[in-house]
Structure 1
């Protein structure tokens, strides 16, 4: 829900090879002198981190020897599940218990980076503050932050750890609840949390005739739906299941949107230019290869991924 790329060294080599092979000369032709390649000034090749560089004792952390993880508060299920008694200050979900989708991903990622529960600490950081430019109080941040080119200008965004779809929630007795096409959504009034890819979906995909409403928090948007200020709420699909199961008694998931070109995925947020970023990407890659991310997704989100897909 909570919603960039340089030229790689491989692409430069491929382009150079293609240029050399086009219009091939005859075997008897004298070789043509090639100009000395000029390195690109746009993006330097990124080298894979060495194991030693990613050892806990070698990482540049906010607190030496401790991985500081940020999350928004309230921490919503199914991303963060509650404990029997949540520790202060956490509301709804408890990021510290390793339960819920992002709670489990964070715990697995911390372990892959070499940190145990007693060398990991959690802090509250609002979603909007996490994605704004400037230094952070956390080493990594997980709260449904979707990758976008714009955000990647302000913060580092890791490789994706979950492919997500956006969806519409309405009240069961609303005419909106019967809509099955994107074109049919245009006449209704929608709302979403400010600064999210959910709001971008309203603007870019639905393009409604009524101006969309922006809210500081998702809770405020939910209240607007319950009070009839908006006809539909746009959120990511797992959040929609929580909204209809817990927050809006007579709510219904109207449908989900087809995946945009290139897809949409959640990324870990880090300081812009963080030396930790390649280590996090390497750890995510290992968790994917081992099937750990898939297992976590099945455990926490398998029953929260099915909804009708809007037709054009």
Structure 2
């Protein structure tokens, strides 16, 4: 009976294992192999070992792209989760407008990233919506070429990412708020714990699981960002918004360095796995301590 049960379980698991192997493990193994060849994308390729990775280590363009990717991720993770938490806290305390404002916050996520990037390209233009709004309120001195200045381009691209996905973070935080024991919050109110004290002593510890999920998801998404820098700036100006994903794209599809581009994609994969795993582990350790 036991062996029959194990055979039945194996029969159900086999299709999933086959699909996972074909579409996940095989492409990963193939990519690792191609990153150690001189392939140009065709069937002919010679094994060159770690040559592509050695070239990558001394490539200033790769170092700059890695720095831009990490900086972009930090800005997005911090701002997106801070705003999501702020909005969730406000909506939790305002039941009458909760449903309406939740829909409003989630609306940007219904737009495709490419379309959102095109919309914001107009808004960031020198004669676009943002500068026009500043002029309308008498702040003409703050007009700026947002996507054409190396000091603001990366942060402008990050702002689009934050605008689009803050609703997701808010929804997760709000779900955590809604699951808080009502009797605990009532007891805190009776003890005089209100405002900031209530947030730091009760709400913030109870939001720990939601924070872990939000930070991990936003970190992974921002490290893999592609559409926003491609459409908004195409890596410019002067390479100030060049990310690892853009470098992979340029080398694989237009730079004539297919194997080098695959090696860059391996670097991106390692970066995402290491940073997201480390961050998630630290946050889960914090959860257990709380």
Q: TM-score, normalised by structure 1?
A: 0.24
| More helix per residue | 2
| More strand per residue | 1
